[in-house]
Amino acid sequence: MAENASRVALVTGGSRGIGRATVVRLARDGFDVAFCYQSNEAAALELEKEVTETGVRVLSRKVDVRDAEAVRALVAETEQTLGPIDVAVTAAGITRDNPLLLMKDDEWHDVLDVNLDGVYHVCRSVVFGMMKRKSGVIVNISSVAGVYGNATQSNYSASKAGIIGFSRALAKEVGRYGIRANVVAPGFIDTDMTSVLTGQVKDKALESVPLGRLGRADEVADLVSYLVSDRAAYVTGSVVQIDGGITI
């Protein structure tokens, strides 16, 4: 039997990219999985079908992580349908790049609302149940941009740095309740988010990656799988980079 049989995971941004790979990986680990997405219902339904065929239970909902009430309802429905949430992974995220001089207010607020408020809404909604049960694992997806900053991404870098501060504070607050909270900070991963970059920008970024290639979403999901497992039972408050060495 899989290590995590009959445990429940909630993943945001599960329809595509790193979130999708995480849903697939955690299902393979034996988790029943609930996931949300913003608008791409076709991708969500396809994933739901694929994962259901592996024999675990899956629940997908169109829930905007900016909407605190909708996130609370998703958590409640997940717990009623699948059972108490053991693991929460926040992968929903967006970029709206612009140099600060040209940054529009809505580009700033959109990114902060989805990337940082979204994480707050999810963690705020799951933490009470986890505290009552004295167990739970949270993995928030940040970025190397949140650790080192990235030109033209002051909004994104601020949101991702915020996730790190938030998660470390949370790890300190809830460790005594048997809850772990960690951050995964990916570098350049091959998903729809990075596919919009021009060949020139990509080539330049790749020059700085010692491993010489983009990362894959399933490689990030493998790290998440480790962090939520009992193999990482003494790991909390960590920011784990997975970036092919781009930040060395």
Q: Are 19 and 11 in contact (CB under 8 A)?
A: yes
For position 39 contacting ligand NAP by CB under 6 A, the verdict is yes
Beta bridge partners of 35: 11, 60
For position 143 contacting ligand NAP by CB under 6 A, the verdict is yes
Name the residue nearer to ligand NAP (CB basis): 127 or 183: 183
**Nearest distance, CB of residue 29 and ligand NAP, angstroms:** 19
Residue from the set 66, 127, 164, 223 that interacts with ligand NAP by CB under 6 A:
66
**Nearest distance, CB of residue 57 and ligand NAP, angstroms:** 20
Name the residue nearer to ligand NAP (CB basis): 36 or 179: 36
From 32-40, 97-105, 128-136, 169-177, give the range in contact with ligand NAP by CB under 6 A: 32-40
Q: What percent of the residues of the chain are helix, what percent strand, and what percent coil, each to the nearest 5?
A: 50, 15, 30
Residue whose pair of structure tokens reads 């986890």 in the numeric block: 130
Distance CA 215, CA 190 (A): 6
For position 152 contacting ligand NAP by CB under 6 A, the verdict is no
For position 244 contacting ligand NAP by CB under 6 A, the verdict is no
For position 162 contacting ligand NAP by CB under 6 A, the verdict is no
Residue from the set 23, 27, 33, 36 that interacts with ligand NAP by CB under 6 A:
36
Single out the residue of 128, 26, 113, 126 nearest to residue 74, CA to CA: 126
CA angle 170, 75, 235 (to 5 degrees): 30
Residues with active-site annotation: 156
Q: Are 22 and 220 in contact (CB under 8 A)?
A: yes
DSSP string, 1-38: --TTTTEEEEEESTTSHHHHHHHHHHHHTTEEEEEEES
Sequence-distant (6+) residues with CB within 8 A of 191 are 16, 17, 18, 217
Number of residues that bind ligand NAP (CB under 6 A): 31
For position 188 contacting ligand NAP by CB under 6 A, the verdict is yes
Which tokens sit at 190? 């091959």
For position 43 contacting ligand NAP by CB under 6 A, the verdict is yes
From 2-10, 48-56, 122-130, 184-192, give the range in contact with ligand NAP by CB under 6 A: 184-192
For position 38 contacting ligand NAP by CB under 6 A, the verdict is yes
Distance CA 240, CA 220 (A): 10
Which tokens sit at 38? 């913003």
For position 228 contacting ligand NAP by CB under 6 A, the verdict is no
Name the residue nearer to ligand NAP (CB basis): 143 or 225: 143
For position 16 contacting ligand NAP by CB under 6 A, the verdict is yes
Residues forming the site for ligand NAP (CB under 6 A): 12-19, 36-40, 43, 64-66, 91-94, 114, 141, 143, 186, 188-189, 191-194
